[in-house]
Amino acid sequence: MINEQNFSLTDTELDELDHFLREQMVENDQEALLLDGVHGLLTALAVGPQPAQPDEWLPEVLHQPFMDATQGRHILGLLARLNDSICSELDADCYEPILGEMQDEQGQAGISTAGWCSGFAQGMDLRSNIWELRLDEDIQLVELLAPVMELAAQDGALGDNEVIDLMSEQEYGTRLAELPEIVDAMAQYWRVRPPLGREQQSVSKDAAVAYQRRSGHSVH
């Protein structure tokens, strides 16, 4: 049996992956997922209705060619282990999200779920037809997803045009502490209620959309 620690990235490896993601964001002058966003995206795929192959989600993460084959193997290896560690943590009931940091108006550092929530939304988009069909029909899934939407709205991940009632500091802290439990509940939901019938047929449409998003950058 493989121990989950074989998958887990060290702090040094997480820093290396974070540095790579930040560099490609600057060089491409575009919005890109940072480490917290990648973790959110992979979490959505791990707990969602259907798994996704790397060639579906890597274009959501990688936006430039690697410097060389050595860097490519290293970064792809780190991403693969990050993905495996999420699944392992979920199986072991010890999942913890990787969240970003922000500074308030007084310059005080704090936790932000904006990147993680944005990444989670992108992961949902890769299976959007299934999510949308089920959300239209099952209030239980709507209720499970609601806390994630509340955190996203609170931290500005939904955009400036959204009108929301902000949570108090205590409410925000409670939602933040509940996030691992919420993620686990969504994983359990889809295990017990897997997509059937027309929901399964929609997977091919999601894959086609994902293919169209690919930027053509080499990931090998």
List of domains in the chain: 4-211 (1.20.120)
d(CA 181, CA 78): 26
pLDDT at 160: 58
pLDDT at 214: 46
135-140 LR contacts (CB < 8 Å, sep 24+) = 138/193, 140/189
pLDDT in tens, 157-201: 886 555 567 899 999 999 999 999 999 999 999 999 999 877 777
pLDDT in tens, 47-71: 999 989 999 999 999 988 999 999 9
Give Cα 215 distance to the centre of its chain: 19
pLDDT at 28: 67
pLDDT in tens, 16-26: 999 999 998 87
Average pLDDT of 137-160?
Answer: 91
Average pLDDT of 67-91?
Answer: 97
Average pLDDT of 28-51?
Answer: 91
Average pLDDT of 14-36?
Answer: 87
pLDDT at 163: 53
pLDDT greater than 50 at residue 107: yes
pLDDT at 27: 72
The confidence band for 1, taking pLDDT boundaries of 50, 70 and 90, is very low
- Whole-model pTM: value is 0.86
Please count the CA atoms within 13 angstroms of the CA of 76 that sit on its side-chain side: 16
